[in-house]
Amino acid sequence: MAAVSGINKMYGVCLHAVRVTAGLRAARLLQHRAFRVGAVHQQQPFDSSLEKPQFPGASAEFIDNLEFIQPNVISGIPIYRVMDRQGNIINPSQDPQGRISFYMTNYGEEGTHIGSAAALDPNDIVFGQYREAGVLMYRGFPLDMFMAQCYANADDLGKGRQMPVHYGSKDLNFVTISSPLATQIPQAAGAAYAVKRENMNRAVICYFGEGAASEGDAHAGFNFSATLECPLIFFCRNNGYAISTPTNEQYRGDGIAARGPGYGMMSIRVDGNDVFAVYNATKEARRRAVAENQPFLIEAMTYRIGHHSTSDDSSAYRSVDEVNYWDKQDHPISRLRHYMTARSWWSEDDERSWRKQSRKMVMEAFEKAEKRLKPSPELLFTDVYQEMTPNLDKQRQSMWRHVQQYKEHYPLDLYDK
């Protein structure tokens, strides 16, 4: 019984909160919960006269009943939302009053991009995984530059070196994407630490999926950011699948949010298809991360409506019905549209004409990017180091000699000089 009451001390308020309507209490980022992480990480002063445990590694009470803490015996961490699936505000005090202004398609996860990006400062540094194009677009990255990266043409800021969607922008503080998963997570912790030392009201946000959260780098990043007190938001897009792997093959605990308290980190789970919930949570997390120099973990529940990539056909591992549900019944764009049309800020005519205009813009950007030259072959050899090294220079010269010798096999007119 002591064990149960011990657990209740830790999770008591949580049990109570689950019984009330989700979305009302959860809005306060676990401040009033018994996840008193602030108390746990400070080591108590050693005092051998007390009957309390004196182990430096934990701040706790003794019990004399043998009982294991069962994972998942309590309900999962509740999901904060502002709108219902029809776009109606549940709790008017949570309505953020129209700071959102732009949409972009990363099919099904648009709410996570736009809601979080809108809540940040332009100076905040973004470390992404690869499914956050909406964040970059929100910050103003032009369509032409997206296309240039995807086509690896001579306009690409990345000089045509990476696969599509590995975009980056120094001006927009969006660190270039890399393919290995979760490597950005400890890097974000390091960047946040450096930014903290600069003391200029900057935060760092780090996006990743629920699959990448299984990587060792995720554990490293969470632990470092908490122990080193970094102003950092970890934003997990839990979209149900890592390619074909569903979440019940990815983890057995209560998702990613439940791991946060284990690291001593403030944590929340939000409805990722509710752009206002994402906005509110990110806004508050950012404010406190900078003010208090501690990391925040936001797990945004959503659904990956599209395939993992153009190399994937998800009908091999999930039903069309499942996909249709999310597309038709719980889509972030639809929910926001219902909210806006209910206030006469948007109409069916607006919808039709904006879709048409968007399609036109995108197709024009496609055609333009397609016609552009590819980057110069010189760029194969630069930026390996800051300086060109003799070894690379030799390889470069050797390449040109070869290409000149066999020029009929190399379409040099398609490449920039």
Partner 1 sequence: MAAAARFFTRGAHSKLSLVAVGGGGGAHCSFGAALLNASPTCNSRTKTQRRHAAHFTFQPDPVPTQYGPTQKMNLFQSITSALDNTLAADPTAVIFGEDVAFGGVFRCTVGLRDKYGKDRVFNTPLCEQGIVGFGIGAAVAGATAIAEIQFADYIYPAFDQIVNEAAKYRYRSGNLFDCGNLTIRAPWGCVGHGSLYHSQSPEAFFAHCPGIKVVIPRSPVQAKGLLLSCIADQNPCIFFEPKILYRAAVEQVPMESYTIPLSQAEVLEEGSDVTLVAWGTQACADERKENNLRGVKGAKPSPHDPCAEGSGKHGPRETGGVMRGHRSTDHPALGCGYRLQVGGENWPFAHQPRGPNNRRLCF
Q: Which residues bind partner 1 (CB under 8 A)?
A: 125, 127, 156-159, 161-162, 166, 168-170, 175-176, 178, 180, 183, 185-195, 197-198, 204, 216-217, 219-221, 223-224, 227-228, 382-386, 389-392, 394
Locate tokens 């990539």: which residue? Answer: 309
Residues 6+ apart with CB under 8 A from 281: 29, 80, 268, 270, 298
Q: Which is nearer to partner 1, 186 or 211 (CB)?
A: 186
The total number of residues written for the chain in this structure: 417
Q: Report whether 211 contacts 181 (CB < 8 A).
A: yes
Say how far apart CA 242 and CA 399 lie, in whole Å.
Answer: 40
Query: Considering just the CA atoms, what is the radius of gyration of the chain in Å?
Result: 25
Q: Which is nearer to partner 1, 159 or 283 (CB)?
A: 159
Q: Strand, coil or helix: what is 22?
A: coil
List the beta strands (DSSP E) in 52-154: 79-80, 125-127
Q: What do you get for the CA distance between the two ends of the chain, in Å?
A: 77
Name every residue whose Cβ is closer than 8 Å to that of residue 288 and which is 6 or more positions away in sequence. Answer: 29, 266, 294, 296
Q: Which is nearer to partner 1, 4 or 194 (CB)?
A: 194
H or E element, residue 301: strand 296-301
Task: Count Cβ neighbours within 10 Å for each residue of 214-230 and write b for 16 or more, e otherwise.
Answer: bbebbbebbbbbbeeeb
* Nearest residue to 166 (alpha-carbon basis) of 140, 139, 116, 129: 129
Nearer to partner 1, 161 or 283 (CB): 161
Minimal distance in Å, beta carbon 89 to partner 1? 38
CB neighbourhood size of 207 (10 A)? 27
Which two three-digit tokens encode residue 10?
């830790």
In terms of CB distance, is 29 or 165 closer to partner 1?
165
**Phi, psi (5° rounding) for residue 352?**
-60, -45
Two structure tokens written together for 260:
């946060």
Q: Is 19 helix (H, G, I), strand (E, B) or coil?
A: helix
Nearer to partner 1, 358 or 382 (CB): 382
Q: How far is the CB of 92 from partner 1 (least distance, A)?
A: 40
Min separation Cβ 64 and partner 1, Å:
32
134 vs 168 by CB, closer to partner 1? 168
Distance in Å, CB of 190 to partner 1, minimum: 3
Minimum Å gap between C-beta 394 and partner 1 is: 8
Q: How far is the CB of 368 from partner 1 (least distance, A)?
A: 20
Nearest distance from C-beta of residue 293 to partner 1, angstroms: 11
Q: For residues 143 and 392, which CB has a smaller minimum distance to partner 1 in the complex?
A: 392
CB of 95 to partner 1, least distance (A): 35
Give min distance, CB of 214 to partner 1, in A. Answer: 14
In the bound state with partner 1, the residue whose beta carbon lies nearer, of 121 and 383, is 383
Q: Which residues pair with 169 in a beta bridge?
A: 174
